[in-house]
Amino acid sequence: MDRIKLGLAGIGKIARDQHVPALAASDDFELVATASRHGRVEGVTGYVSIAEMIHACPQVEAVSLCTPPEGRFEQAMTAIRAGKHVMLEKPPAATVSEAEALAAAARASGVTLFATWHSREAAEVDAARTWLADRRIDAVRIRWMENIRQWHPGQDWILAAGGFGVFDPGINALSIATRILPQPLVVLHATMDVPANRACPLAAAITFRSGEAAVDACFDFLQTGGQTWDIEVDTDAGMLRLTHGGSRLELPGEPLVSGSNDEYPRLYRRFAELVRSGESDVDLRPIKLVADAFLVAERRVTEPFEF
């Protein structure tokens, strides 16, 4: 089967760390062009915009967007209107309405749209979902705490309006929670700590309900030392612990299970399946929860933050 010719847009840290290696190992895709104002991939023809890439390289069949969410809507629309299949790095857009409009445009154009949630592809997420499926959920604790200076050095956009702040990593936790919990999550209350010189929070706490279960989530962008990406679920059969971003699973009375990081290769395999079957996958539950949290949150102004 011929490989799908792909253009990669936004050659920054996530593209270099994850997308480029996954594409280099892919049997489904051939990286034939990039679009980025600053970055390039060695051996691949680069353009400064998606429009220029599509015009100069019409053989591109699909576009994978790794740009920040602010401004991604027009980039994705450009590709969709040109009849290209589109894969979106998380979060899929700056707002829910943008993401919904992209989904509608993809349907109208007859192309695939894939709104990805890479943390759902962590090694033990599906096993956790299966174990929880027929159990009573009593309580859930989400702790997603990492160091912004380590993972987003100098990336001011992430704390600007539309950048999501601590919800850039926090939405990963919500993507897993919406995948593994049998009942929907509903936002009840939230607090957000926003530096005086920034638009988006560096820390947040949210209270949810999932069925009858209380769900407590804490997100922190200033954790130094060890990083914490954990979800604990109390059930009628004991406690499930999904840690290390979903790659390690502890179940009552069973040995710890740990899998390798294969998130982005799995995403690209899924994208290829969707393209070849003529389907789309646009699950907006995680970004809707973030939007709900912003709507109800108590905003607390904290000390200015500098990288």
Q: Which sequence positions are flagged as catalytic? A: 90
Contact between 239 and 230 under an 8 Å Cβ cutoff? The reply is no
Using DSSP's 3-state secondary structure scheme, residue 96 falls into helix
**CA–CA distance, 46 with 48 (Å, rounded to integer):** 7
Question: Strand 62-65 vs strand 213-220: parallel, antiparallel, or unpaired?
Answer: unpaired
First to last CA, the chain: 47
DSSP state of 30: E
Distance CA 154, CA 63 (A): 27
53 Cβ contact list (under 8 Å, min separation 6): 7, 9, 33, 34, 35, 47, 60, 63
Nearest CA-CA partner of 210 in 240, 243, 239, 177: 177
| CA 258 to mean position of chain CA atoms | 21
Q: Are 225 and 213 in contact (CB under 8 A)?
A: no
